[in-house]
Structure 1
Amino acid sequence: MKSRWIYVVFGIVIFICLGTVYSWSIFRKPLENMMGLSSVESSLPFMFFLTFYSLLMPVGGKLVAKHSPRNVLIFGGILVGLGWILASFSEGLWQLVLTYGVVAGSGVGIAYRIPISVVSKWFNEKKGLALGVLIAGFGLSPFVTAPLAKKLITSYGVFPAFRILGMAFLLLITLLSIPFKFPKDSGFESDSNDGSTSPRQMLKNKKFYALWFCFMASTFIGLMIIGITAPFGEEVIGIDEKTMPILTAIFSAFNGIGRPLFGLLSDIILPQVTISVSYVLVILSSLLLAYTHSPISFVVSFSLFWLTFGGWLAMAPYLTSKFFGNKYQSQNYGIVFTAYGFGAIFGNLSAGIIKDLFGSYKYVVYPIALLAIIAVVVANVYLRVNENVR
């Protein structure tokens, strides 16, 4: 059973490649300058990437039910690499949206679910912690890729940076996908008849809609924040653009830490408590930025924003299994994950609209705080679990 940890280790590296989307703010300003894009326009490739990422997640779940995890993961990795490479030849905004947003985003959507499904079935005990450690790779990606992307952009230009990263992703994901398989391939029983809820039954359950809303709120907030981290720091706080890749790397470390941290919390405390903790931190961070725009308040608040968003990407698959069982986990989580796409679209559009209407990103903290308060109420009303059935 020790060999099961290879899926966690290889999965972390794969997720670092897939999670480079979280370094989008490093590409944003160079693209705005080179292509003459507005704040809303420069958010479109990022928004389309995240939308197709979430829309193709159920497709990945269906493919892995018919094909081996290895083959589905390789297929997704090829799309990711090609999307980044083709993006390097873009001559206009919509070419960038099609290649980076649609092709690469679809590849991430297909590939993302596979390491999670494999690890979920290899780890029946301490599942929350194992998933948190695995998914930390996605959150930690900017810790590696933001400084690397900044260096490549400075040395070669923004579009050659797309090409170099795309070739690296194509190679790494393909090679690291080869060992992935489910336990049943090695003689382990992966699923049991545990009273699991089918996707159709889940859609009739109030807990699904409450979980979907809470996950959507976290992605609305988290992806809005991730997309504007660099411009918020530079334009609102006045931080030097050379410092922002370093701060982005620090924030990504908090994003990565949030995944095993909230995964562990999910194992030991009640769901409504874990959810409330995450959103209380968001509310406090919003209030801090509403009253002061110092570099310290920026670093503290954005660290907590990134931390809690990372936590939700461990909590969401865990809570899907907890509320609806393991048997249909791949399909059920694919449906729950559509909340990610909804949050990606409206979070990024809202940030761009606020900037274009009011001239500054500093006003985003008010809708963030309001949404977090609503999520706390929803979780404590509809996702409450009694102590004796934890």
Structure 2
Amino acid sequence: MNTVNTSAFPHARLAERHRWGQLALGLVCMMAISSPQYVWTLMTKPLMTKLGVALPELQVTFSILVLLQAFFSPVQGALIDRFGPRTLISIGTVLTGLSWLLASHAQSMLGLYLTYGGVGGIGTGIVYVGVVGLMVRWFPDRRGFAAGVAAAGYGMGAIITTFPISASIVTRGIDGTLELYGFLFAAVGLAASQGLRMPRSESTDLHDQTEAATGTRPAPDYRPAQMLRTPLFWLMFVMMTLMATSGLMVTSQMAIFSADFGVSKMLVFGLGALPLALTIDRFTNGLTRPLFGWISDRAGRENTMAFAFALEGIAMLLWLLTRDDAVLFVILSGVVFFGWGEIFSLFPSTLTDTFGTRNATANYGWLYLSFGIGSIFGGPLAALLHQHTNSWIPVFGCAIAFDITTAVLAIFVLKPARTRFLRRH
């Protein structure tokens, strides 16, 4: 891959200095909003006890969180493009922390739905879409890598909080834990978001450099209304829906099926199997995003998709077959998450490669709706499937099938379709 020579473009040298700082601030913002989704599995049993509800009813909270995170993303993306990232992302980080503070006082499922699910979903959605949309603009020459680093903050941020929150639930209880960490998330995210801004004239030079270095012309700048009329967008939408569903079937149910497999209370390397697995998962789920984003910048988006999605499907099959082995449970959980998290770098970079940068944030907001649809199938409907069959095998079977199907679509359908589309334009 050709590299960009910043010495030839004065404005680009200024952008080069600023954009790495922007990436670092975006990473911190993403880390501040990651726990509501990625430590949810630690909350399920305490909340079931506190509120006296069954798992399918409680899992609606998780689906509301992820669904609203995705459902409002087109509007949020347009507002960020209109009013700038600092204002909107500041609001989003505060709302995320506030959702936990309010949830600590919830005494009914409706209260939990409105606070943890509703307020949290809107807050995390603003930050997530805003930061990813901002980074693909700052890094036209390293789009997959930059989107991956930003998304890694969301996937890896809970590494810092998994063990502390697990311990806090034991010592402080669920309400005290939500209250303490809600305040911390809001404070850290608000502080980091104050330095964010949109690239200005220097971004034009970065685009010029990228075109000169690669010998290619940039993709056409499609508005959301134009993009939504293309079959290519809806192919990407279906693919991301399938991958989101398979991954969320794991992230939202892991504490429950690990107990059913009999490994949740076992020790691995002197540590509890479940918190250890969750910590490793946060690391691999974060690492995969910049790594596969970087690989896709060089090897091609669709080729990278096919390998990563197939990897998750194979690892999930092995996970199911060796489910009573605590050591393999921990190791394979990391491999599963390694094969899933890259959807959050590969899909936004592929979308922006295809439909242009001018409306990148708003366009990604529409694609991110697929993640909300995946939350419905990956959360309560997966729990209902398990409840109806009294087995996790059908749930895992669906997830594995989705992974393999999407890998096939990437290489045999998306790749030629995108080639034809870009040639026409």
Q: CA shift at 1:361, angstroms?
A: 2.9
Q: Could you tell me which amino acid in structure 2 is paired with residue 3 of structure 1?
A: H
Per-residue displacement from partner, 1:181-228 (whole Å, max 9, x unpaired)?
1121x7543878852222222122221111111111111011110011
Q: Could you tell me which amino acid in structure 2 is paired with residue 211 of structure 1?
A: M
Distance 1:90 1:191, change over 3 A: farther
Decide which of 268, 274, 292 is 2:304's aligned counterpart.
274
Decide which of 372, 388, 404 is 1:373's aligned counterpart.
404
Indicate whether 1:300 and 2:316 are aligned. no
- The 8 Å contact of residues 277 and 334 in structure 2, kept in 1 or not, is answered as no
Partner of 1:355: 386
In 2, the alpha carbon distance for the partners of 1:52 and 1:382 equals: 30
Q: How does the TM-score come out when normalised to structure 2? A: 0.86
- The 8 Å contact of residues 25 and 196 in structure 2, kept in 1 or not, is answered as no
Partner of 2:126: 110
Q: CA shift at 1:142, angstroms?
A: 2.2
Partner of 1:59: 75
Partner of 1:309: 340
Q: Could you tell me which amino acid in structure 2 is paired with residue 56 of structure 1?
A: F
- The 8 Å contact of residues 273 and 326 in structure 2, kept in 1 or not, is answered as no
In 1, the alpha carbon distance for the partners of 2:94 and 2:57 equals: 27
Partner of 1:288: 318
Q: Could you tell me which amino acid in structure 1 is paired with residue 344 of structure 2?
A: L
Per-residue displacement from partner, 1:103-122 (whole Å, max 9, x unpaired)?
11111111212222222222
In 2, the alpha carbon distance for the partners of 1:178 and 1:368 equals: 40
Structure 1's unaligned 5+ residue stretches are none
Q: CA shift at 1:312, angstroms?
A: 0.5
Give the paired residue count.
389
Q: Could you tell me which amino acid in structure 1 is paired with residue 364 of structure 2?
A: Y
Alignment of 1:1-390 (within 5 A): 1-20=16-35, 21-184=37-200, 188-189=203-204, 194-240=219-265, 242-293=272-323, 294-385=325-416
Q: Percent of aligned pairs with the same residue?
A: 26
Mean alpha-carbon deviation: is it higher for 11-20 or for 380-389?
Answer: 380-389
Q: CA shift at 1:355, angstroms?
A: 2.4
- The 8 Å contact of residues 351 and 361 in structure 1, kept in 2 or not, is answered as no
Q: CA shift at 1:37, angstroms?
A: 2.0
Distance 1:387 1:67, change over 3 A: closer
Structure 2's unaligned 5+ residue stretches are 1-15, 209-217, 267-271
- The 8 Å contact of residues 74 and 366 in structure 2, kept in 1 or not, is answered as yes
Q: Could you tell me which amino acid in structure 2 is paired with residue 152 of structure 1?
A: S
Distance 1:207 1:166, change over 3 A: same
Structure 1 runs of 4+ with >6 Å offset: 190-193, 386-390
- The 8 Å contact of residues 47 and 101 in structure 1, kept in 2 or not, is answered as yes
In 2, the alpha carbon distance for the partners of 1:170 and 1:378 equals: 40
Q: What RMSD, in angstroms, separates the aligned Cα atoms of the two structures?
A: 2.1
Per-residue displacement from partner, 1:345-381 (whole Å, max 9, x unpaired)?
1111232112212334344211112222322232233
Per-residue displacement from partner, 1:132-173 (whole Å, max 9, x unpaired)?
122111100221121121122111100111111111111111
Partner of 2:6: none
In 2, the alpha carbon distance for the partners of 1:98 and 1:299 equals: 34
Q: CA shift at 1:387, angstroms?
A: 8.6
Distance 1:248 1:301, change over 3 A: same
Distance 1:116 1:364, change over 3 A: same
In 2, the alpha carbon distance for the partners of 1:261 and 1:198 equals: 29
**What is the DSSP-based 3-state SS (H/G/I as helix, E as strand, rest coil) of the residue aligned with 1:384?**
helix
- The 8 Å contact of residues 292 and 304 in structure 2, kept in 1 or not, is answered as yes
In 1, the alpha carbon distance for the partners of 2:153 and 2:377 equals: 25
In 1, the alpha carbon distance for the partners of 2:232 and 2:331 equals: 33
- The 8 Å contact of residues 29 and 127 in structure 2, kept in 1 or not, is answered as no
Q: CA shift at 1:315, angstroms?
A: 0.8
- The 8 Å contact of residues 237 and 298 in structure 1, kept in 2 or not, is answered as no
